[in-house]
Amino acid sequence: MPITPRHLNRYRQIAEVMIGHGFGAILAQLGLDSQLELPRRLLHRKPLAQNGKTPAVHVRQALEELGPTFVKLGQILSTRPDLLPPSFLLELTRLQDDVPPAPWDAIKAILEEELGDSLEHLFAEFDSTPIAAASLAQVHAARMPDGAQVVVKVQRPNIESTINLDLDILYDLARLAQDRTPLAELYDLPELAEEFAVSLRAELDYRREGHNADRFQQNFAAESHLYVPKVYWEYTTRRVLVQERIFGLKISDIAALDAAGYDRHQIALHSARFIIKEILEDGFFHADPHPGNIVVLPNEVIGIMDFGTVGYLDPNDRAALVRLYITAVRLDTVSLVEQLIQVGVAAPNLNRSALQRDVRRLLLKYHGLPLQDIRAADVLDSLRPIIYRYHLRLPSNFWLLAKTLVMMEGVGLKLDPDFDMFKVSEPYVRRFLLRMWLPSAWGPSVVHSATGWADLLNSLPRQTTRLLGQVERGELELQVGIPAFDYYISRVDRITTRIVLSVLLAAIILALAMLIPGMDLTWPWTFFTWVIVGTFLMAVFLATWLILSILRSGGRL
């Protein structure tokens, strides 16, 4: 793979960081040492064992040094126990995304370019000091001309070109690794790189985040205890998002909540209802519910912010999750493993008995415990080694869901340590199971299948006419090869002969049964009597031959 001049400098930066953390041998395995003109002595510099840091720590530090694209990659990998062992997953959760804010002049230029006017005309007030800064964007406080307070999220200068360059390089590295490493036997690395690129590029378009917020508003329009801030669409573009600013107490600030007189049990209840509804009913969930994105407003109303990361679960995904939950509660490991294979999580050729044994051990660990004593974080920690050992491949949205549940559980335990999430979810699960049996759930798929059959029947005469025309013109030749074809044909022939003889014999017997009562046995016999006697003798002969034939074949057809 030739390296273009546009990518060369960035490749060298990546190589320097990897060599500095002891991963130079990977560059040599990918064949980049010669293309980047790297001295071979550098590829094995600074062995990991000499600096006291584990390989997982070096991976995290290397990703942080390489910048926003690789930090985002590490954050996604931290939720994928099917790709990395548990020690690496734990370390990647410590990735830091805090960076110094970009210069105000550059930020102001982006805002005015995107919004098409000066900030002085667009806003009554605008704070040039950001209230938050990350690798992709930073957030400023402002006031609209009508006095409404808003937050303005603006993309950092040149970040899109930087990310596009890094994504091109990551895809190239994935293709090299697919061709030159054993990982190709387990994973489709280019496909994983492409999936990551699509996700990250979508995150750079803030119009998408605004539409996510609007969708949450619609889904929870009837819910009085959840508040989603308004999006100012006339001020929102691909690189700028302006949204209503909401003021409340951080949901994790227990002391402040108690001082304000809030009922923590009610807050936990509202939070649980929010997460259960968005998963089981809507199939569209907030995938980054850390305490910084959730505030508590008066009357225990939950305020949700930052809709850049969301997850999707179609009805089949939700049904699969519910079925897995039910089989796990029943300790039915055989059905559970079969369900994993059916939804494509586990490969059909895996060692089923070993996976069933490990899953059963895990389930027995929690069997008999009260549901409120079972923690999602503990279950996930126990699952990670099994997932990695058997290379179970859950869809990326399932991992987002697992991360979401663990985050919300951590918040819930702080609010109310005795809160029973399973008890709250029980009526939602029952309603979901009921909907699965209603015509509104299975009707569309039946109609879709019926439409397909109707299309087939409609096109069948036309296709048949064309096929017969090809046969008549000698344009179509069908060749079928079946092992031991002649043998099976002879068997079919014998079976057919016996069936025909049996039917003929039965017909003769019935005819004789009707004719014998009218026989005249006075000698000399009449022609009619001779016919009946001859037919009787033929029937005896056929019956004898058929019985002997069956006995000689041992009863086989």
Residue numbers annotated as active site: 288
Greatest Cα-to-Cα distance within the chain, rounded to the nearest angstrom: 133
Q: Which of 205, 302, 292 is nearest to 262 (CA)?
A: 302
Who's near 280: CB < 8 A, 6+ residues apart? Answer: 318, 322, 425, 428, 429, 431, 432
Q: 74-103 in b/e burial notation, b at 16+ Cβ within 10 A? A: bbbbbbbbbbbeeebbebbeebeeeeebbe
Whole-number Cα distances in Å, 495 to 251, 278, 329, 483, 507? 79, 62, 52, 20, 18
Tokens in use for 532? 């009946």
Q: Which residues pair with 285 in a beta bridge?
A: 311
Contact 244, 265 (CB under 8 A): no
Report the C-alpha gap between 135 and 73 in whole angstroms. 13
Name the residue among 30, 22, 75 with its Cα closest to residue 47. 22
Q: What distances in angstroms separate CA 399 from CA 177, 312, 415, one per listed residue?
A: 24, 11, 25
Provide the 3-class DSSP secondary structure of residue 136: coil
* Euclidean distance between CA atoms 501 and 420, whole angstroms: 74
Q: Tokens 């060369």 sit at which residue?
A: 8
Retrieve residue 478's tokens.
Answer: 């069908």
